[in-house]
Amino acid sequence: MKIAIVGCGSRHKMFRDSVVEDYPDKHEIVALCDSNAHRLNEAAKAVSQPGTNGVATYLAADFDRLIAEQKPDTVVVATPDFLHSDYIIRAFEAGCDVICEKPLTIDLSRLKQIVDTQRRTGRKIKVTFNYRYSPARTQIKELIASGTIGEVTAVDFRWHLDRVHGADYFRRWHRQKENSGGLLVHKSTHHFDLLNWWLGTAPVEVLASGRRAFYRPEMAKELGLQGRGTRCTGCPVAHKCDFDLKMAEDAALKSLYLDAEADDGYFRDLCVFDEEIGIEDTMQAHIRYASGVTANYTLTAYSPWEGLEIKFQGTKGEITHKHVEVHGVFGGERAHADEDAVTTELNLAGQKPVMLEVPKAKGHHGGADPVMLGYIFDPEGMEPDRYGRASDHVAGAWSILTGIAANASIETGSLVNIPSMLRSRGIHIGA
């Protein structure tokens, strides 16, 4: 497979390294593309093999020339979210398949363009929902599908982002909804996809609330950060700010972003307390699914710890699953959890609760990334996927529709019916 990667920020590295290090005998990266010449050159240096002429590089404006000259079979899209649809559609039109970083896209108009073009061209797309491939999440899928707790009736799902990871969304391009769809699309698409996959159903109604409660100018004053700058670099109060991002001291951030600023003026370290931020940091949604299951979902972006808590209620009992990814931030140090930080409790009616042994694997995202990349780049070398973890444009669409509906509900204060929302825009996705 001849592969072109569009977008050479931090997320492309997973795909790049997997092809170059794990599957060089099966696939070839024939081109890299980015809007920033510095990042593009850094990526090319990382992927080029000794004794070769290197990998062809193209600026974003020359993407169509990339397709014409390099003729890739597959385009990996790892750009900012609002650009996904443009490259997906152009790749489809050129006869290429696509591997896309989540989310598929951020709004209904772009979604319609993608599904209409896919239907017309017949090209294939894989959306990389790596959480599906984590052994712990797969265990939950197996428990529910096998009827261990009977019919699932209700779910309570809470996701916590700590004050390092959560804050990062408020200092870069994600901070505006027109770029990312807000956290209910950019981040929660992972979580809503898990619910769709675990439950084997699709959302039909959403009622949501959300606001920016923490990352505000008022909080900066409360923390004694008067006179703050517009970004961490050069900020006069950075020395007393727990949210100071020292890009010059991090080799990866310095190379990818600080050294690249002269090319496009993109600042990776904007102040997390800016007035202009346009996304929420506190969100809750009540979701009803086609199967009748209901779910309550909460996402906060300033928690003292990081991870998830989820409880499935069923007619025979309940499953409680918790994953502590980061215990907390103490004295400026982020205390990561150990290997025993994932627990699953099974509580069946009439029986004592049992702590199940949770399967583990090595690799990022709880061992999910190597498994997912194996199915993407070497499916013949993997065992048949009996859990149906692969995600196409249909799964990608349903994963963002909960967040899009939640955004609409926050804006209007009303319950949003997803099938009606789709009909009003002439969007036909499929099951």
**How many Cα neighbours within 13 Å face the side chain of 95?**
7
Percentage of the residues of the chain whose pLDDT score is greater than 90:
91
How far is the C-alpha of 414 from the C-alpha of 95, rounded, in Å? Answer: 41
pLDDT digits over 22-41, tens only? 999 999 999 999 999 999 99
336 pLDDT tier (thresholds 50, 70, 90):
confident
Residue 332 is predicted with a pLDDT of: 67
Give the span between the Cα atoms of 341 and 323, in whole angstroms: 6
Q: Label residue 50 by pLDDT band (50, 70, 90).
A: low
More confident site: 54 or 319: 319
Out of 220-224, 338-342, 366-370, 404-408, pick the least confident. Answer: 338-342
Give me the DSSP letters along 141-186. Answer: HHHHHTTTTSSEEEEEEEEEEETTHHHHTTTSGGGSHHHH--HHHH
Burial pattern 115-134, b for ≥16 Cβ within 10 A else e, equals bebbeebebebbbbbbbbbb
Burial class (CB in 10 A: 0-12, 13-18, 19+), 177: buried
332/255: higher pLDDT = 255
What would the mean pLDDT of 269-294 be, rounded to a whole number?
Answer: 98
Tell me the per-residue pLDDT of 253-268, one tens digit each, with 9 for 90 and over: 999 999 999 999 999 9
pLDDT at 333 over 70: yes
Percent over 70 (pLDDT), the chain: 98
DSSP conformation class of 359: P
Confidence band for 279, pLDDT divided at 50, 70 and 90: very high
String of DSSP letters for 62-89: GHHHHHHHH--SEEEE-S-GGGHHHHHH
Beta strand 74-77 pairing with 2-6: parallel
pLDDT tens by residue, 371-400: 999 999 999 999 999 999 999 999 999 999
CA–CA distances in Å: residue 197 to residues 153, 203, 344: 15, 11, 18
Cα–Cα distance, 88 to 397 (Å, whole number): 13
Q: Evaluate whether 337 touches 306 at the Cβ level (below 8 Å).
A: no
Tens digit of pLDDT for each residue in 399-430? 999 999 999 999 999 999 999 999 999 999 97
Task: Assess whether pLDDT exceeds 90 at residue 338.
Answer: no
Does the pLDDT value for residue 96 go beyond 90? yes
Please, what sign has the CA dihedral across residues 45, 48, 53, 58? Answer: negative
Provide mean pLDDT across the span 105-117: 98
In this model, does residue 367 exceed pLDDT 90?
no
* Measured distance CA(258)–CA(251) in Å, rounded: 10
Record the tokens describing residue 264, joined without a space: 């496009």
Q: How far apart are CA 101 and CA 422, in angstroms?
A: 23
Residue 331: band (very low, low, confident or very high) from pLDDT cuts 50, 70, 90: low
- Closest-CA residue to 328 (of 351, 350, 305, 312): 305
Paired tokens of 343: 């627990």
Task: Give per-residue pLDDT as tens, 132-187.
Answer: 999 999 999 999 999 999 999 999 999 999 999 999 999 999 999 999 999 999 99
Please report, for residues 140, 267, 324, 365, the alpha-carbon distance to residue 237 in angstroms, rounded to integers and kept in the order given. Answer: 46, 18, 32, 34
Helix axes 135-145, 364-377, angle to 10 degrees: 80
Residue that wins the pLDDT comparison between 222 and 336: 222
The CA dihedral of 173, 179, 182, 187, to the nearest 10 degrees, is -70
Confidence of residue 48 (pLDDT cuts 50, 70, 90): confident
Between CA 355 and CA 357 the distance in angstroms is 7
Whether 53 has a pLDDT exceeding 70, the answer reads no
Q: Torsions phi, psi of 76, nearest 5?
A: -90, 120
pLDDT in the model for residue 366: 75
Q: What would the two tokens of residue 355 be?
A: 């702590």
Residue bearing the bigger pLDDT, 211 or 54: 211
What does the alpha-carbon distance between residue 247 and residue 255 come to, in Å, rounded to a whole number?
A: 9
Mean pLDDT of 225-249: 95
Q: Is the pTM of this model over 0.85?
A: yes
Asked whether 94 and 67 are in contact (CB, 8 A), the reply is yes
Size (the chain), residues: 431
d(CA 76, CA 14): 11
Cα–Cα distance measured from residue 371 to residue 67, given in angstroms and rounded to the nearest whole number: 29
- Give residue 218's pLDDT: 97
Indicate the angle between helix axes 84-93 and 108-121, nearest 10 degrees.
10
Q: If DSSP codes are grouped into helix, strand and coil, which group holds residue 310?
A: strand
